[in-house]
Amino acid sequence: MKKVLSSNLSGTTLFLIGMLILLIGNGWILRSSFKSVSEQETWVRHTAEVINELDLLLSSLKDAETGQRGYLLTKDSRFLDPYKASLVEIWDHHSRIKKLLEDNPEQLARLEAIKAVVSDRLDRLERHLTMPVESADRQSRFFEGKILMDSIRSSIENMKSEETKLLEFRTANVQESKSIFWWTLLITTTVTIFAVLLFFVQIRRGQIRALAEAEREVREGWIQSQLADMGNLIGGDTSLGDLTQQIVDHLSERFDFLAANFYVIDTGLLRKTASHGTDSGSGTLPDSLRVGEGLLGQAYRANKLIEVKDAPADYLKISSSLGSAAATHLAFLPILFQRRTLGVIELASFHPMSSLTRDTLEKLRESIGIGINAAQSREQQQSLLEKTQQQAEELQAQQEELRTSNEELEQQTRALESQQQALNIKNRELESANQATQQKAQELEKINHYKSEFLAKMSHELRTPLNSLLILASLLIENKEKNLTEQQREFSRSIYGAGQDLLNLINDILDLSKIEARKLSMRPEPFFVQSLVDQIKSTFNPMTTAKGLDLQIKISDGLQNLKMFTDRQRLEQILRNFLSNGIKFTEHGHVRLSVEELNGGRLRFSVEDTGVGIPKDKQNLIFEAFEQADGSVSRKYGGTGLGLTISKELAQLLGGNIQMSSVEGEGSRFSLEIPSVLPGLNEESRPTPPPTSLTHQHSAEPEVLSVKPDEAVAKEAQSLLKGVSEGEKTILIVEDDDIFRRSVAETSESYGFHPIEVQDGETALEILHKHIPSAILLDIKLPGLSGLGLLEMIKQMPQLRHVPIHMISAMEYQQNALRMGAMGFLGKPVTIDKIRSALGRIENLVSRKVRRLLIIEDDDRQRQAIKELISGQDIEIELARSGKESIEKVKQTGYDCIILDLSLPDISGFELLDHFNSLEISLPPIVIYTGRDLSRKEQEYLRRYSESIIIKGAKSPERLLDEVNLFLHRVESMLPEDKQRMLTQLRSQDSALEGKSVLVVDDDLRNVFALTSVLESKGMSVRIARDGFEAIEALEKHQDIEVVLMDIMMPKMDGYETMKRIRKIEKLKDLPIIALTAKAMKEDHERCIEAGANDYLQKPINISNLMSVLKVWLAPKGIFS
């Protein structure tokens, strides 16, 4: 109380000081306002004076003009007196105005302009006085004077207008200042009155605060007394039911509640333990409630006091012997003990609770809770005591039994002591056994490691019989003997399809075994997110379209041009598995691939489908090998195979993880989170900016190539051809380096080509079956079918032979490519200028419809026969009879091809070729057509300059026509029918392989049988070797072997070592060797080339690819091949 009085006194003193400061401030404000009003009135008078002087100046000018006019009319000199007086007044007024306008530069400028006009006007008035009356221009000068006067009036009016505005502004300021003055006076007066009232209120508030403090202390004292009373009430040793009854009776008595119920929580239900003043016979009051049920259950859950006002009349009746009435106000008080709700008290009355009652009840909650908890604890103790007493009685009974058995135990103890010694010995034996177990565990770990390595090697071994199966199935499907029924061929197709499925499974086993054996290394490479997504979209779009699904791609903004540096092939493998499963298990709706950026340089690739979903109890099993969500015999869908198992392991190797969420019947979502840069890279191996030249760099690390099934190849080809219009000029770019291929495609667009980009020979071949491009850019080193094999296959197809093909590769196969019909060859690394040059040559060749051919032949009949054989509307032929004539023609004209006979009248064909070579011009393809027999040395010499050598004979015209058409890129379908038949018959003989000798080196008899069946059906002579030693022995013994098919995995000496030893033999260093690799891995391919192989084929071997590669390497070769 003393604190409150001291506080009030200090506040009063501070308030009096504030009042004094306020009164002083009000006086200073009033003085400032009065001074401002006086200053504004002075400015108003100043403006009025300026306007008056302007009027007087104009008036004096008018007086001068009137006096002059009177003198001129009357010649009376008295009129000159007012004229002269006005002249003095004019300049007096001007001086006063100028002095008044010193504070206004704009008005001063206007005044100086008026001064000049007034001076001019006064000069004219003076001249009129001296001008003769009969002057001719007097009239015109009067008009000029009038114009000057009008100008002066206008200028003065402008100045008056400006001063009027100033006058209005300053008058408004005067009024505003007066208004501010009066408002200031009013406000200061009001503030003073308010301050006095505030002083009174402050004193009054202090008194009220003192009273309120006293009332609060009384209130707190009353609450404390209620808490003490409640403490006394619950302090006794009473049961829960009696205690709750005492509490509701006490609350009803002290707080004027007419009815009350006490509910205590028990096994999840609120059970009524006590009541006061309620009508128990009505049957409307339940004895128990669930938590959250009704207002009482809600109060328990909310854990706070809830008050209900104006309850319905039929909600609760309070009755006595005199009558009954409805309770209008209800309260629900939760009871707490250590933040735990033990129960709820329901209270009812005819009037609302006071704030004192509400605060007291809030304080009583925990006190009541302590009592309730104590009562419950006592009941639990009592229950435990009863159980303990019961157990004690049982123990006493057991005690007697124990006494009887004690003697037996003593005997047993002695026996146990002897056994303890035996146990100690046993423990020592167990310790040694434990050590042996640990040693066995280590051995078992080694065994598991050996098992994984065994699986990795066995997956290679499994390819050998599978290779035989696929080759023989292909022969049965081909049915050359025409002795199989359609059903038998269908069985063969089923065998072939099953073999392909088994091949895919072996690939998965190989990946999984390599992961478990910790032999699978990551091969990071730079690539853009957009290129990755585009590749995946082109692969899966046909599959979703065929199934009626919507393939959706969603990439977050800014990620399209984000460059990643990780193992792209493994990342694609995971996403392909996600998408394949999504399409497999989805019948309707969509499959969506989305890419989004996470924190810390990580990306999330998510595949979401609207398929069947995965049951919750199966979601932890799907990453196990060959697991199925539906394990019944009537299941609709198969399992996941090894795909998700491998994906999970690959994700960890990429530094990421896989997350899965699924709702059965709604769909699934698989997410892969990986860093954009593969973790664990040192600075040297991190991505660097690309070089200025477009260099195709092969990684030294092994990289598994993507081997696509036939269906996927067909769908990808169909997708790539969607944007191609009929009649559009297209160029097919076959290159496995994404960055290099994209650069070439962008450059080709500037030459008017629509680029079609593919990364393997199989897809290119599928596109060529459906679309004939204007030109082809082809890399030699491709996954699967090699570039030379694809080139040979294209040039064997009549509908495609005319298409210009330009080769690009880092490998030295220029002579082979040009001899097989390529129009040009670029060796890597390739600059953008070289690409533009090649595209320029292609564009020039494609745009020209007529080809130029030079025939160099001394025999007239032969020359005419060749001309008639080759001639057509699309070719312009020129003839030369001698070497000298041909040299002049070659110098003057550019030809697309030259046919040369070696026997010429002036010089030999050999000398002519040397002369051509000395010319500083680009020579076209030269076809040697001669009747003389050539030695091996002469053939090697001619191969330096000629792409084809034809010896005149029975079939030579057909071969000549075929070769010339090849180098001139003529459309074969445009030739006459007789020439088309001639070429078809020539190619059907398959003479490139007939009579050739091949050595098959393979240790598996089934594989040997299959390959032998195929090769002998083509007219080839086959010799067999089962290992490297036998192969070298066969080559030493049989000098006629022209090509070798070399398996890699063999006993005694493997294929790598065998090829190295063969290349060390001088006479065998140029022998073509085709390696048969177990799997399409770049590591295997590189090792094959390094060991001495010329080409490679992956198992299982495709017969068409085998034939194409054999034709490439069995064709005649020059010394630069």
pLDDT band at 782 (very low <50, low <70, confident <90, very high): confident
- Report residue 881 as tokens: 């009879």
Tens-digit pLDDT profile for residues 488-500 = 877 787 787 777 7
Backbone angles phi, psi at 526, to 5 degrees: -80, 140
Position 73 pLDDT exceeds 70 = yes
CATH match for 849-986 among 3.40.50.1970, 3.30.365.10, 3.40.50.140, 3.40.50.2300: 3.40.50.2300
Of the candidates 608, 582, 609, the one whose C-alpha atom is nearest the C-alpha of residue 594 is 608
Confidence of residue 986 (pLDDT cuts 50, 70, 90): low
What is the reported pLDDT for 629? 45
The pLDDT of residue 973: 60
- pLDDT value, residue 458: 66
pLDDT tens for 430-473 read: 888 888 888 887 777 777 667 666 765 665 566 667 766 776 77
Instruction: Classify burial at 443, counting beta carbons within 10 Å of its beta carbon; exposed 0-12, middle 13-18, buried 19 or more.
Output: exposed
Q: State residue 685's pLDDT score.
A: 47
* Residue whose C-alpha is closest to residue 1047's, from 1064, 1031, 1063, 1034: 1031
What is the Cβ-side half-sphere exposure of residue 477, based on CA atoms within 13 angstroms?
Answer: 15
Strands 657-663 and 667-675: antiparallel
Tokens of 978: 């007789």
Query: Structural domain boundaries of the chain?
Result: 2-211, 239-353, 523-677, 688-707+720-847, 849-986, 997-1114
Higher confidence at residue 714 or residue 1038? Answer: 1038
Tokens 């104590």, located at residue: 374
pLDDT of 633? 30
Q: Which residues partner with 1021 through β-bridges?
A: 997
Mean pLDDT of 178-189: 76
Supply angle C-alpha 214, 216, 222, rounded to 5: 110
Specify the DSSP element, H or E, that contains 605. Answer: strand 602-609
* Amino acid 1101: pLDDT: 80
Residue with tokens 């995971």: 574
Max Cα–Cα distance, the chain, nearest Å = 176
Bridge partners, residue 325, by sequence: 318
**1045, pLDDT greater than 90:** yes
pLDDT at residue 1032, as a whole number: 92
190-209 average pLDDT score: 78
Structure tokens at 1096: 């490679």
Q: For residue 1061, what pLDDT band results from cuts at 50, 70 and 90?
A: very high
What tokens does 81 get? 């007196």
Higher pLDDT, 550 or 468: 550
Vertex 360: Cα angle to 357 and 365 (nearest 5): 125
Return the pLDDT at 1030: 92
How far is Cα 797 from Cα 965, in angstroms, rounded to an integer?
Answer: 12
Q: Give the CATH fold of the 2-211 domain.
A: Four Helix Bundle (Hemerythrin (Met), subunit A) (1.20.120)
* Residue 265 or 152, more confident: 265
Highest mean pLDDT among 153-162, 202-211, 351-360: 351-360
Among the listed residues 755, 752, 735, the one whose alpha carbon sits nearest the alpha carbon of residue 694: 735
Distance CA 297, CA 269 (A): 9
Distance (Å, whole) CA 901 – CA 931: 8
Do 1036 and 1058 contact (CB within 8 A), yes or no? Answer: no
Task: Using pLDDT thresholds of 50, 70 and 90, give the confidence band for residue 70.
Answer: confident
Mean of pLDDT values over 367-374: 85
Pair 174, 41: CB distance under 8 Å: yes
For residue range 598-638, list pLDDT tens digits in order: 988 899 999 999 988 888 877 777 776 555 444 433 334 44
Q: How far from the centroid of its chain's Cα atoms is residue 462's Cα? A: 40
Of 317 and 211, more confident = 211
Q: What is the DSSP letter of 677?
A: B
Least confident of 117-131, 193-207, 722-736, 1077-1091: 1077-1091
DSSP string for residues in 1064-1115: HSGGGTT--EEEEESS-BHHHHHHHHHHT-SEEEESSPPHHHHHHHHHHHHS
Compute the distance between CA of residue 342 and CA of residue 274 in angstroms, rounded to an integer: 14
The pLDDT tens digits of the residues spanning 662-676 come to 888 889 999 999 999
Return the CATH fold of 997-1114. Answer: Rossmann fold (3.40.50)
Average pLDDT in the 500-512 region? Answer: 71
Q: Is 409 exposed, middle or buried (0-12, 13-18, 19+ CB in 10 A)?
A: exposed
**Class at the top of the CATH hierarchy for domain 688-707+720-847:** alpha beta
pLDDT score recorded for residue 814: 66
* 693 has a pLDDT exceeding 60: no
For position 33, what pLDDT does the model report?
65
Nearest-angstrom CA–CA distance, 1112 and 1108: 6
- pLDDT for position 1120: 27
User: What six digits make up the tokens of 1082?
Assistant: 């770049």
**Tell me, what's the pLDDT at 988?**
52
User: What is d(CA 799, CA 965) in angstroms, rounded to the nearest whole number?
Assistant: 12
Mean pLDDT of 553-578: 88
Q: Which residues pair with 326 in a beta bridge?
A: 317
User: Strands 948-951 and 926-930: what pairing?
Assistant: parallel
Q: Is 855 helix (H, G, I), strand (E, B) or coil?
A: strand
pLDDT digits (tens, 9 = 90+) for 858-880: 888 888 888 888 887 778 888 99
Q: Which of 1066, 1067, 1042, 1047 is closest to 1057 using CA atoms?
A: 1047
What separation, in Å, do the N-terminal and C-terminal C-alpha atoms of the chain show?
116
pLDDT at position 134: 54
Pick the CATH number of 239-353 from 3.40.50.2000, 3.90.550.10, 3.30.450.40, 3.40.50.10800: 3.30.450.40
Q: Who wins on pLDDT, 843 or 180?
A: 843
CATH of domain 523-677: 3.30.565.10
User: Considering the chain, what is the average pLDDT of its residues?
Assistant: 78
**Is 849-986 in the same CATH topology as 2-211?**
no
Share of the chain above pLDDT 90, in %: 9
The per-residue pLDDT for 702 is 32
Position 607: which residue type?
V
The answer to whether the beta carbons of residues 896 and 853 sit under 8 Å apart is yes
In this prediction, residue 537 carries a pLDDT of 85
Kindly report the pTM of this predicted structure: 0.33
Between 331 and 1082, residue with greater pLDDT = 331
Who contacts 710 (Cβ-Cβ below 8 Å, separation ≥6)? Answer: none
Highest average pLDDT, of 82-86, 256-260, 1020-1024, comes from 1020-1024
- Rounded CA separation 308/350 (Å): 12
Under the banding of pLDDT at 50, 70 and 90, the label for residue 699 is very low
On whether the CB atoms of residues 983 and 957 are closer than 8 A, the answer is no
Residue 220: partners with Cβ closer than 8 Å, 6 or more residues away: none
Taking alpha carbons only, the member of 836, 781, 772, 773 closest to residue 807 is 781
- Under 8 Å CB-to-CB from 923, ≥6 apart: which residues? 890, 898, 916, 917, 945
